[in-house]
Amino acid sequence: MSKPLETRFKRIETKYIVAKEDLDALLTDLKVYLVEDDYPTSTISNIYFDTEDFQVIQDSIAKKNHREKIRMRTYLANPQADSQVFLEIKKKDQEGVGHKFRLVSTPSAITALLENGQVDSSITDQDLLDEIHELRQRYDGLKPRMYIYYDRYSLKEKHSIKGYSSTKVRVTIDQNLTYRDHDVSLFNGNDGQALLDEGYVIMEIKAPGQQPKWLADILEEHGIEAQKFSKYSTAYRKSQGIVPQMTK
């Protein structure tokens, strides 16, 4: 039996910029507590929807409207017009906890929904449709505005660790990140500009609450500190000639 599709997520997401030369040693320690995910390696292509003048991401950077992001995502290397892809709405609450809502449909149906409000028969999540309706009212003229691609390696917490209670921690490593603000489509390949300096990867820790002590100890041992980093806001800044700011 296939695993049911999760459509609601609530978790704290913390990002770290890690040098590739330090990655093997870090992963060795993490794998005492983590195992590879069911599908540990994947390619991820994202289309971020925004207005012509990038009002959605500008509001997110200014911490307005729950720092919302609207994206279409696929894990397929060569998606087609009728491929199943995800529409995801991301936002943060006042405590900084991330909330993600998603549905699955096709690229054409998702684009028609966001651009024109046209609802395909495959899209039946009324709560998410209401959310999209509010977004379309707030941001007139939503359209595909930024493409972002990367290769991901995923790990999850072991079911039972002696002396530790499970917290459902997930760790992802993203590398080969590229972006482009032209030819913004899932069907135009993954060419683009580098999103991150060569020699570095983005590690993201996703947890439903506070990170467990074993994880905090490993990060401290390796001298790895959290950084504020958003792939979309960094791509936006770079595309507009604004120097990205990464704060430790």
What domains does the chain contain, in order, with CATH numbers? Answer: 8-239 (3.20.100.30)
The answer to whether residues 70 and 89 touch, using CB atoms and an 8 Å cutoff, is yes
Q: Are strands 34-50 and 143-157 parallel, antiparallel or unpaired?
A: antiparallel
Cα angle 161, 163, 169; round to 5: 45
pLDDT score, position 210: 83
pLDDT score, position 177: 97
pLDDT score, position 64: 87
Q: Please list the helix, strand and coil fractions of the chain in percent, rounded to the nearest 5, in that order.
A: 25, 35, 40
* Claim: this prediction has a pTM higher than 0.85: yes
- Count CB neighbours of 92 within 10 A: 17
3-class SS at 142? Answer: coil
Report CA dihedral (86, 65, 148, 15) to the nearest 10 degrees.
-100
Sign, CA torsion 155/159/163/168: positive
pLDDT per residue as tens, the chain (248 positions): 444 455 655 678 899 999 999 999 999 999 999 999 999 999 999 999 999 999 999 999 998 887 899 999 999 999 998 999 999 998 877 666 777 888 999 999 999 999 999 999 988 888 889 999 999 999 999 999 999 999 999 999 987 555 555 568 999 999 999 999 999 999 999 999 999 999 999 999 998 878 899 999 999 999 999 998 999 999 999 999 986 554 43
Cα angle 81, 103, 9; round to 5: 140
pLDDT score, position 127: 86
